Chains A and B, each alone.
Chain A
């Protein structure tokens, strides 16, 4: 590992791999950093289990000019020998981005043997920086959502994909996310059981969103196929139902649900209890913008793109020169957009460097595909969106900040005292001052503020993050 690279790519998910492939072969020194044990990000994690070597997508994938589905992306991935000039490090974490594209990076002892066992923190200079840090899930909090056994939809998938382990013999699935059906099928494929899928969305809302999919016939078809397969397997599927409570002593034992009216309010007298040892629940996604914020990149708020996202120009350059962003952090729209943007960002960087791109890259097609994928973003994010009444209805005793253990009651109290911006509410409550730096609670706090105060996103403000954006041992700073 060197201390300076022509291009540093943060994240080796779909966007990161697509970018690295496109940048390879031009004599550039490229560093791909990922905090996971293996490449692949959340989508390709079981396909990239080997630590050395690299991957590429079937070049035809970028020339179709049509919407690319996750299935196609997964299928078109193939292992290759690591291209010359590409260094790929795993379990290394970018902690901060300082001026002049200087990255603060924590690397494990496996990359720098002889250390203290805590790894070490280095500065790495990037000529160009491509941020492809992906997204995480959102979750609407409910009583008991901190109980062991309650997990995100993604967490349940990861258990199976990375380790071949089911979340439980029987898993209850809830929320608003399209990951619900994906997870259910994955569980069934692995001979597990699904107690039920409890979708908060009514059929009418979903039908109302269908016009947004008019250019995405293949994605709509794929969704319909998933539903059909679940129906054939006789999975219990309920719509217009929300989890109101998770019960159990030191772990989940039961889940209480309530029916929802058309506006998303719970209907009295519709409570139902399910025994459960695992509840997988999710309400859409939010972009991992910690590092772009660290780098000083301007953000935009767009509910149709999943909330606060990185502002980019047509070339995917952020407001900070030489810093590019690709994939979910410019708008939540799934793997297809990540693939296209990874390639496009790489092309932009190559153009800046005066390099010609290979024959397998067709920019006008990619641009067309990117625009199309954005249409899917509106569908996806509106589908996942929780009505503001749901935030208003959160019980006072429910914890919002899991790290600092701050309750909804405390948040309500401080909002009523006038702390109505994201920044001031954080100061008044400690929400977001814990280990995760607000990754879980800040999007919630934002939605709560919108619901309770009716302010604009700009009035509430975007979240802030400080280096190190991930926890690191003090000791790792002691070894230069």
Chain B
């Protein structure tokens, strides 16, 4: 390589890839971002915008999320697009006494590490959110939780990266990755070949397909999440919400089959309500299903009955990059020099994108990073003490 500035190729024009490209470009690295379709055309354009802290287990996951949150307010100023970041707090809605008990413990653990979260009874909850059903049992509330427009965030990162001289290639599917002596040397796309000193796999739910090009098996599986969009309307909820069941589903996939899928709700700046979500293993299929739409609507209307007088204007589905332990895969891989992972955030890609971009950029450029990346290495799935969680 000599004294030449190394060329870094980031694969994936979603929120993770664009964040990495932006962070790298800001530090004057030579970056090319490659996207097979349009920017934000995968999961980052088909998800909700929740930036939730209290849904994370205390430990490395929450720490990552908290560091990410801190960076959002700066992004709001730095990115050349209004990312519609709004820190209006978030609520975990509790519908049964059993959930209330479970959440009591969860909140206690969070409070012990200093997270600003509290448990509220039904009366206080309804005082804050008057449109919620009087049948709810209570909620947990954190002023830290926020929401953002995921598409605008992705496009903002990309525009910011380009402003800092990153090259962005859309509509350029990657066909292969060249290697020599166990080291990446180039990337082949439908638009031709380019030399690469380093390749970052930020292809989200499709990151497994990219890794296969260099002979690496990833434990990342696409997990479909369907969402329902209502018409724009006057303010119906004042903060974003998830159900206690949603948290359960996040930590125990076996619960996801039925009620464990939970629900999420947010009202965008535009006034539309985004209702979610399903969690289904259906391969790469992004079709909606009547049963999926029905589940979402029956769960959300049970909590927010006023929804029933609204109209559905569209539904969509995105593929969340699921990993077995719920944590992303970040950093170098032992078997291939110059190949880096930045994928597997499942439903947290939007919330974790600012910190992911920063950490991966720092690591690639050999700079000191805010959080060590070792707990997120791919090798955690192959070593005996693989459970990095917690």
Contacts and interface: CB of A to CB of B under 8 A. Distances in A.
B242 to A, nearest CB: 19
Contacts of A478: 294, 297-298, 301, 308
B84 to A, nearest CB: 11
Contacts of B308: 473-475, 478
The bracket for how many chain B residues form the interface is: 35 or more
A254 interface: no
B290 A423 contact: no
A428 B80 CA distance: 12
A99 B285 CA distance: 10
B293 A477 contact: yes
Contact of A423 (B38, B293, B307): B38
B309 A475 contact: yes
A348 interface: no
A427 B45 contact: yes
Contacts of A99: 287
Interface stretch (A1-9, A277-285, A301-309, A464-472): A464-472
A121 B170 CA distance: 38
Given A121-B290, A424-B38, A466 B315 contact: yes
A427 to B, nearest CB: 5
B270 interface: yes
The bracket for how many chain A residues form the interface is: 20 to 34
B40 interface: yes
A412 interface: no
A421, A477, A478, most chain B CB atoms within 10 A: A477
Contact of A466 (B151, B301, B316): B316
Contacts of B297: 474, 477-478
Interface string A448-480: 000000000001000000111001111101101
Contacts of A123: 290
Contacts of B45: 427
A473 B311 contact: yes
B161 to A, nearest CB: 12
B171 interface: yes
B47 interface: no
B290 A435 contact: no
Contacts of B387: none
A480 B294 contact: yes
B179 interface: no
A104 interface: yes
Interface in B35-93: 37-41, 45
A434 interface: yes
Contacts of B232: 434
B101 to A, nearest CB: 29
Interface in B290-345: 290, 293-294, 297-298, 301, 307-316
Contacts, number: 89
A89 B297 CA distance: 26
B310 A467 contact: no
Contacts of A466: 288, 314-316
Contacts of A404: 270
Interface in A203-261: none
A435 B310 CA distance: 12
B162 interface: yes
B120 interface: no
Given A423-B41, A435-B231, A480-B294, A473 B288 contact: no
Contact of B314 (A468, A474, A477): A468
B155 interface: yes
B289 interface: yes
Contacts of B172: none
Interface in B138-154: 151
Contacts of A468: 312-315
Contacts of A472: 311-312
A62 interface: no
Given A427-B38, A435-B313, A437-B314, 15 more contacts: A96-B288, A98-B288, A418-B159, A419-B155, A421-B171, A423-B38, A435-B231, A467-B315, A471-B231, A471-B311, A472-B311, A474-B308, A474-B309, A477-B312, A478-B308
Task: Across the A-B interface, give the 4 residue pairs with the lowest CB-CB distance, nearest first.
Answer: A424-B38, A466-B314, A471-B311, A475-B308
Interface of A: 96, 98-99, 104, 121, 123, 404, 417-419, 421, 423-424, 427-428, 430, 434-435, 437, 459, 466-468, 471-475, 477-478, 480
Interface of B: 37-41, 45, 151, 155, 159, 162, 168, 170-171, 228, 230-232, 270, 287-290, 293-294, 297-298, 301, 307-316
15 contacts: A123-B290, A423-B41, A427-B45, A430-B270, A434-B313, A435-B311, A466-B314, A471-B313, A472-B312, A473-B308, A473-B309, A474-B228, A474-B301, A475-B301, A477-B312
